[in-house]
Amino acid sequence: MQTAKAPLVRPHSATGFDLKPIAAPLGIVLSILGVSMLLPALADVSSGSGGADVFLGSSAVTVFVGVLLWMSGRGARIKRLDLRQAFLLTFCLWSVLALFAALPFMWGRPHLSITKALFESMSGLTTTGASVMSGLDDMPAGILLWRALLHWFGGIGIVVIAIAVLPLLAIGGMQLFRTESSDKSEKFMPRVGAIAKGLLLSYVLLTLLCTVCYLMAGMRPFDAVTIAMSTLSSGGFANSDSSVGVFASPAVDYVAIVFMLLASLPFPLYARALAGDVTRLVTNSEVRLFLLIVAAFTLASFAQQSLQGINQGEPAFRGALFTVASLISTTGFMSVDYTHWGPVSDALFFLLMFLGGCTGSTAGGLKALRLAIAGRAVRQHLKRISYRNGVFPVRYGGVPIADDVVASVLGFVCLYFATFLAGGVALNMIGLDLRTAFSAAIACLSNVGPALGPVVGPAGNYGGLPDAAVWILTVTMLLGRLEILTVLVLVLPRFWLR
């Protein structure tokens, strides 16, 4: 008598999770990072500042590990990368790259510890712009170029991930943000290459244009190139402890303002503009909301400076517009020290740190898209209280939005504030005062960079913080850049066992 065979059941374990499709692209990107370290080495050689051997050694180690990863995963079918692998790859790209990008900061000048070197590299790749380094005016050219390159690489990587990956992961309503080449399948890798081409071309052209404008404003070529890369990436690393304020030039300020705002707009609209569709840049509802917020905060800051006698006329307007553009774009450049403008200014700019730019830009923060949907959801709820039998769909861009998308946005906004509060409380428990703790938490979560106060404000840096605070802020930068849920989902057992 034959016994019936038990059906095969796939065990719910991590052994069913294939890591090879992740290893190959991670190895390729890591190898590209290693090769790019040769550029700072050349800068050190040409400037005679020394330190080229540090970048050569870092390059060799990074490329070696990258090639090993590529070889271990080259036989995998990368085009069949699923959503779980997309989550893990997104996390690994920023965390692993930051680890290897920290090598030049540890091995060469300024000889940072692993804690502070990782903070600096994470700040670069996440385009936060918070720094633990001082004495930038005398720093070797290679280190300054490396910081700018980290910003520039991180900026284009953020745009591609925001457009090609996050809409498929449905994080915080990102499923609303789709390009014409998007689809609803779980296979996203074939889309990345097609999307990246148009975005990269727009990114490169804007960077070149920004460089030319900085040159015309009087910058030296090296400063123009590095600061243009920081500007278009919404990064904020500069070549002086005084940031772009060292130039004391209205022309430089206005160039920075224009390109910080341009970097805050959706990059797919630039790709469409290159294809001949320029009207989207002015008709897009998210762009209009973003520019309205910029105008409102600029007028408020200008009025506050004028009424309190801080500044008057054009300097007051330029200082207000520059600071608002710098904070809402999450670039973090400093032209004037706004922390001396009083508590009203502190409250104004503290609120501004939460907002951020548009979806699909290099800016961080909550994004104008989510702010618009959250505002419409609140208005819908108020109408339902007044008219219980009424039907009031939430609309965006004239199109009704599904309830699950609205719930996703509201859930993300709540999680964003919860993460900010957790970070601020943790920093305060370590010993930081309330102003420093909570402003540093939101500055790193929104990838702004400088916060409020004399320690982490625009005139200071994060180098004086205890190591525990530096680690908390390093994790906070990663959480903010990867939209929080992309990281938190990795700690759920269900993610690995399904």
DSSP secondary structure letter of residue 251:
H
Q: Are 51 and 109 in contact (CB under 8 A)?
A: yes
The end-to-end CA distance of the chain, in Å, is: 36
Query: What is residue 318's predicted lDDT score, i.e. its pLDDT?
Result: 95
Quickly tell me which residue has 């898209």 as its tokens: 369
Residue 156 tokens read as 């284009």
* Structural contact between residues 447 and 365, judged by C-beta atoms closer than 8 angstroms: yes
Q: Look up residue 297 and give its two tokens.
A: 């905060």
Would you say 127 is a known binding-site residue? yes
Distance of CA 304 to the CA centre of its chain: 30
What distance in Å separates the CA atoms of residue 492 and residue 142, rounded to the nearest whole number? 41
What pLDDT does 78 receive?
54
Burial string for 278-301 (b: 16+ CB within 10 Å, else e) reads: eeeeeebebbebbbebbeebbebb
Which residue bears the tokens 């998210």? 286
Task: Supply the pLDDT for residue 42.
Answer: 95
* Greatest alpha-carbon span in the chain: 99
Closest C-alpha among 127, 174, 171, 176 to residue 152? 127
Are the C-beta atoms of 347 and 394 separated by less than 8 Å?
A: no
The 3-state DSSP class for residue 40 equals: helix
Q: CA-to-CA distance for 352 and 354, rounded, in angstroms?
A: 5
- Give the separation between CA 401 and CA 380, rounded to whole angstroms: 12
The answer to whether 428 is annotated as binding is no
Residue 242, class by beta-carbon neighbours within 10 Å (0-12 exposed, 13-18 middle, 19+ buried)? Answer: middle
For 407-437, give the DSSP string: HHHHHHHHHHHHHHHHHHHHHHHHT--HHHH
pLDDT of residue 100: 96
Structure tokens at 142: 């290679």
Look at phi and psi of residue 433 and say left if phi exceeds 0, alpha if psi is from -120 to 50, else beta. Answer: beta
| Geometric angle at alpha carbon 471, from 466 and 476, rounded to 5° | 125
Polymer length in residues for the chain: 498
| 323 belongs to an annotated ligand binding site | no
Task: Determine if residue 62 is labeled as part of a ligand binding site.
Answer: no
- Does the annotation flag 448 for ligand binding? yes
SS3 per-residue string spanning 360-394:
CCCCCCCCHHHHHHHHHHHHHHHHHHHCCCCCCCC
Give the list of residues 6+ apart from residue 371 with CB closer than 8 angstroms, or none: 289, 355
Q: Structure tokens of 497? A: 């066992």
Strand-pairing partners, residue 400, are: 395
| The token pair that represents 95 in the structure block | 């965390």
Structure confidence at residue 120 (pLDDT):
96
- Mean pLDDT of successive 10-residue segments in the chain (498 residues)? 40 54 87 95 89 93 94 67 78 92 92 95 94 92 95 87 66 54 40 69 94 96 96 93 92 96 91 80 87 95 92 92 95 88 89 90 90 84 76 74 82 92 95 93 93 86 94 95 85 74
Going by the DSSP 8-state scheme, the letter that residue 332 receives in this structure is: -
Res 167: pLDDT: 65
Q: Phi, psi at residue 432, to the nearest 5°? A: -75, 145
Distance CA 58, CA 62 (A): 6
| Token pair belonging to 267 | 């990059």
* Helix count and strand count (H, E) for the chain: 23, 2
Structure tokens at 10: 């796939």
- Asked if 227 and 211 touch (Cβ cutoff 8 Å), the reply is no
pLDDT of res. 3: 44
Instruction: Return the bridge partners of 399, or none.
Output: 396
How big, in percent rounded to 5, are the helix, strand and coil portions of the chain?
70, 0, 30
pTM exceeds 0.75 for this model: yes
